[in-house]
Amino acid sequence: MMYSLSELQKIANELRIDIIKALHAAKSGHPGGSLSAIDILTYLFFNEIKRTKENAFDPDRDRFVLSKGHGVPALYALFARLGLITRDELMNLRLLGSRIQGHPSFLDLPYVEASTGSLGQGLSIAVGMAMAGKLDRKKYRVYCMIGDGETQEGQIWEAFLSAPKFKLDNLCVILDYNKSQIDGYTSDVLNIEPYVDKLKAFNWHTLEINGHNFEEIKSAFGSAKKLKGKPTIIVAHTVKGKSVSFMEDKIEWHGKSPNDEETKLALKELEELIK
């Protein structure tokens, strides 16, 4: 089943509500990067990966690695919507002994493809998965989301070098480019620009989109699937805290949960947006 773009936009905003509720229940976590990533992840899981409980462990399934592991509330909200976990379990975010830890943990929740959280490592895992797929002559694709602050890690650039060498056209990387990290704006902490020019020079098929525009998201994933001979990276310009006005582009919302009053305000805005 393919979802229309308007259906996906509505689902993404409903998932924003679930993200806020889970973070409020946890009293800690990362709303900014979860809200910036959810539009892309919604399209990816519903119209590309098409994850279900039945295909979640199929050896031929498409894989997804969340390298920016702190954005995992978005992934858990998707899992709940897809029926991989219950909505009640979603409210156990970050609790001691919970399967849904503050960063993705494969050992706790096997629907997670890889344990991540130490920034810079997830892309290397995705490269390895894509190489395995090639060697095993499998048709599955590997998707990996990275953060812009994360690309200040040297290991990311080693992976950027190796993927084109091995012609991993079954690998698609998404940069959630919300322009900020826990210590400030990316351009002030350690500027990664000119990002697109660098990736093109590294021989990546490089696409630049608005990461909240479903038409552009659809077009980018379609282009990635058609290309042969090199990996694709989608540089998705996003807004940290997207769709919650007092969180948008505010660095302090990188890693704190909303209190009772802030939660009420956020949920009211999101419910109005859905209407």
Q: Are 181 and 149 in contact (CB under 8 A)?
A: yes
* Average pLDDT over the chain, rounded to an integer: 97
What's the pLDDT at 1? Answer: 80
Given a cut of 90, whether residue 205 has pLDDT beyond it is yes
Nearest alpha-carbon partner for 112 in 76, 142, 88: 76
Three-state DSSP at 260 gives helix
- Encode pLDDT of 145-182 as tens digits: 999 999 999 999 999 999 999 999 999 999 999 999 99
Mean pLDDT (whole number) for 28-32: 98
What's the pLDDT at 254? Answer: 97
- Encode pLDDT of 250-261 as tens digits: 999 999 999 999
- Encode pLDDT of 209-244 as tens digits: 999 999 999 999 999 999 999 999 999 999 999 999
Fold designation for 5-274: Rossmann fold (3.40.50)
Distances (CA, A) of 5 to 2, 62, 207: 9, 21, 20
Mean pLDDT (whole number) for 18-32: 98
What's the pLDDT at 119? Answer: 96
- Encode pLDDT of 51-99 as tens digits: 999 999 999 999 999 999 999 999 999 999 999 999 999 999 999 999 9
Domain boundaries, the chain: 5-274
Q: How many CB atoms lie under 10 A from the CB of residue 2?
A: 10
List beta partners, residue 249.
none
What's the pLDDT at 170? Answer: 98
Alpha carbon 223 to its chain's center: 19
Nearest alpha-carbon partner for 114 in 66, 44, 47: 66
